[in-house]
């Protein structure tokens, strides 16, 4: 099912500003695969003035001929000439291109794979100050290669871009508009599997139920997403085995660098670089207690940031052999036993993410964090959601639960105790919040439901 083009208002505005510049320029669009870079270009660029070309793995001569054919739609006769190299093709394009025209080269790293000199050739033409009003855009899914070709200080094209647009997964609130899910609770469960990747939503929209989509797309060896993490890591990592090992261990509960290193049987220092790369790609994120910084390495925990990868490494990888043997029902039954726990973890993340967009208790709130440590009563405790108001006068303390049983009163009692023992509360007013799929009200706390959270995250 083809989805409507969702969100991307900021990205579309940035791209529209870029192509409206009468002086022309060089733009870069990059980000994780399947997040909608190509769709953004196709939806936003002016069709009558744009040549859009997707690079592939063919030899350079064949690619130049294909690109020349596409350019000829805007410049008739452009493909009647054989171009012996990229310099010849770009020279002709920049010479004949009309003002306000756009040449968009998608999957730029694939083009470079067949022609290593292409970035340097393009650099030469950009440095010559091409004709006013001509726009060149390169796009690619491999963030590592796009950095190496365009964004790194040592890259030939570094500093030439007048627009750099990174495409990231969509906020969770959009999933209910993409999938036929009338209940917000179902949307949270779907997001806990697919995350914010619009292509995953598009694939899942062809199925009536989440379980049916998971079996066909993820669990089945014939599924489009069965081996998706391998393809994702190959885009951006040289050593995919080590990165996959880290993701697997973190998804299954090893959250400290020392734990991960012990399980892999390697020194922690050898994992610093791959972990940093996973952090840069947004696949893993640091978790530090409210009031601490990432410099406090002793308190830093790691978690898989992407819900789909968290799901895949928790459920699919351990059952790989059983899935190859087509034991789908047994694997699905096993997933069902702990799926609620998986959703609860994603729900906590969404609860924290929503706080900065909630106008709660008459305040605007800064981004929320988790807190763990020793309370004033000298007992260990953890608070799911902690946020500070913009004026620093108040704190929001919250508990996130995914229980369908109405346990609000018990959770509020526990949260009240934690608030009294919270060591960072001195001198500030405390506001209590419960994030729950149950909407039953309790005195002394604000209740935020999946519907509230999804509305905030758009």
Are 238 and 381 in the same domain? no
DSSP per residue, 344-381? HHHHHHHHHHHHTT--BTTB-BPPPEEEEEE-TTS-EE
Rounded CA separation 119/148 (Å): 10
Q: Are 330 and 260 within one domain?
A: yes
pLDDT at 304 over 80: yes
Question: Cα(23)–Cα(324) distance, rounded to whole angstroms?
Answer: 56
Q: Is 215 found in the same domain as 331?
A: yes
- State percent of the chain over pLDDT 90: 81
**Whether 361 and 326 share a structural domain:** no
Range of weakest confidence among 7-16, 34-43, 296-305 = 296-305
Distance separating alpha carbons of residues 158 and 147, to the nearest angstrom: 9
**What is the structure's pLDDT at 243?**
93
Q: What is the CATH number of the domain that holds 266?
A: 1.10.10.10
Lowest pLDDT segment from 66-70, 114-118, 211-215: 114-118
Q: What does the pLDDT look like over 148-191, one tens digit per residue?
A: 888 788 888 988 999 999 999 999 999 999 998 989 999 999 99
Q: Has residue 325 been placed in a domain?
A: yes
Same domain, 20 and 86: yes
Q: Is the pLDDT of residue 50 over 80?
A: yes
Residue range(s) defining the domain that contains residue 373? 353-456
Q: Which of 167, 194, 226 is the last residue of a domain?
A: 167
Q: Tell me whether residue 7 is exposed, middle or buried, using C-beta atoms within 10 angstroms of its C-beta: 0 to 12, 13 to 18, 19 or more.
A: middle
Examine the fold and report which residue of 167, 191, 219 is the final residue of a domain before the chain moves on. Answer: 167
> pLDDT tens digits, residue range 404-445?
888 888 999 999 999 999 999 989 999 999 999 987 788 899
> Tens digit of pLDDT for each residue in 367-376?
999 999 999 9
Claim to verify: residue 37 and residue 135 sit in the same structural domain: yes
State the pLDDT confidence band at 144, using cuts at 50, 70 and 90: confident
272-277 average pLDDT score: 92
Burial class (CB in 10 A: 0-12, 13-18, 19+), 173: buried
Tokens found for residue 75: 């410049």
Residue 347 lies in a domain: no
Structure tokens at 320: 């790989």
CATH code for the domain in which residue 87 is found? 3.40.50.300
Bridge partners (DSSP) of residue 372 are: 382
pLDDT of residue 289 exceeding 90, the answer is: yes
Q: Could you tell me if residue 4 is inside a domain?
A: no
Residue 52 — φ and ψ, nearest 5°? -110, 125
| Residue at which a domain ends, from 150, 167, 184 | 167
User: What is the model's pTM?
Assistant: 0.93
Tell me how many domains the chain contains: 3
Cα 136 to its chain centre, rounded Å, is 26
Query: Does any domain span residue 109?
Result: yes
The reply to whether 193 and 334 lie within a common domain is yes
Task: Report the pLDDT averaged over residues 133-137.
Answer: 94
The number of residues in the chain equals: 458
Residue 454 to residue 417: CA distance in whole angstroms: 29
Strand order in the sheet with 429-435: 369-374, 380-388, 394-400, 429-435, 446-448
283: nearest Cα among 5, 7, 35? 35
Q: Are residues 99 and 223 in the same domain?
A: no
Mind listing the pLDDT tens digit for each residue in 244-256?
A: 999 999 999 999 9
How many CA within 13 A on the CB side of residue 427? 4
Q: Do 117 and 189 sit in the same domain of this protein?
A: no
Is residue 346 in a domain?
no
Per the domain annotation, does 3 fall within a domain? Answer: no
Mean pLDDT along residues 121-146: 88
Residue 450 to residue 458: CA distance in whole angstroms: 13
Check pLDDT > 70 for residue 1: no
Per the listing, tokens 């379980």 go with 211
Q: CATH number, domain at 412?
A: 3.40.1350
Q: Do 183 and 308 belong to one domain?
A: yes
Q: Are 425 and 406 within one domain? A: yes
**Are 92 and 110 in the same domain?**
yes
């Amino acid at each position: 099912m083809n989805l409507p083009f969702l969100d991307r208002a900021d990205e579309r505005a940035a791209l529209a500003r870029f192509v409206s510049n009468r002086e022309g320029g060089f733009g870069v669009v990059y980000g994780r695969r399947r997040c909608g870079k190509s769709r953004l270009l196709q939806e936003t660029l002016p069709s009558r003035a744009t040549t859009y070309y997707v690079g592939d793995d063919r030899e350079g001569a064949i690619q130049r001929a294909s690109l020349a054919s596409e350019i000829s739609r805007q410049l008739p006769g452009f493909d009647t000439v054989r171009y012996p190299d990229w310099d010849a093709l770009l020279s002709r394009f920049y010479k004949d291109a009309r003002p306000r025209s756009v040449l968009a080269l998608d999957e730029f790293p694939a083009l470079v794979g067949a022609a290593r000199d292409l970035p340097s050739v393009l650099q030469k033409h950009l440095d010559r100050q091409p004709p006013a009003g001509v726009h060149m855009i390169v796009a690619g899914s491999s963030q590592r290669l796009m950095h190496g070709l365009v964004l790194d200080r040592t890259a030939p094209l570094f500093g030439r871009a007048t627009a750099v647009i990174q495409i990231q997964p969509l906020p969770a609130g959009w999933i209910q508009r993409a999938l036929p899910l009338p209940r917000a609770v179902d949307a949270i469960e779907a997001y806990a599997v697919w995350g914010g990747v619009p292509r995953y939503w598009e694939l899942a929209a062809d199925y009536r139920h989440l379980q049916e989509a998971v079996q066909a797309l993820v669990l089945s060896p014939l599924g489009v997403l069965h081996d998706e993490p391998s393809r994702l890591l190959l885009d951006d990592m040289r050593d995919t085995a080590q990165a996959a090992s880290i993701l697997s261990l973190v998804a299954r509960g090893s959250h400290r660098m020392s734990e991960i290193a012990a399980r892999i049987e390697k020194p922690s220092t050898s994992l610093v670089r791959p972990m940093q790369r996973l952090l840069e790609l947004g696949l893993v994120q640091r978790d530090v207690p409210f009031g601490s910084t990432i410099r406090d390495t002793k308190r830093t925990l790691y978690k898989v940031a992407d819900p789909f990868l968290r799901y895949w490494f928790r459920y699919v990888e351990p059952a790989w052999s059983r899935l190859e043997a087509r034991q789908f029902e047994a694997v699905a039954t096993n997933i069902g036993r702990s799926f609620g726990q998986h959703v609860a973890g994603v729900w906590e993340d969404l609860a924290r993410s929503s706080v900065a967009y909630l106008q709660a208790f008459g305040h605007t709130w800064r981004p929320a964090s988790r807190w763990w440590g020793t309370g004033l009563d000298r007992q260990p405790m953890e608070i799911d959601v902690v946020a500070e108001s913009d004026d620093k006068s108040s704190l929001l303390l919250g508990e996130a639960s995914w229980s369908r049983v109405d346990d609000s009163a018990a959770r509020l009692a526990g949260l009240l105790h934690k608030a009294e023992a919270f060591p960072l509360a001195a001198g500030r007013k405390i506001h209590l919040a419960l994030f729950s799929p149950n909407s039953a009200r309790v005195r002394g706390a604000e209740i935020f439901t999946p519907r509230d959270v999804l509305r905030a995250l758009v």
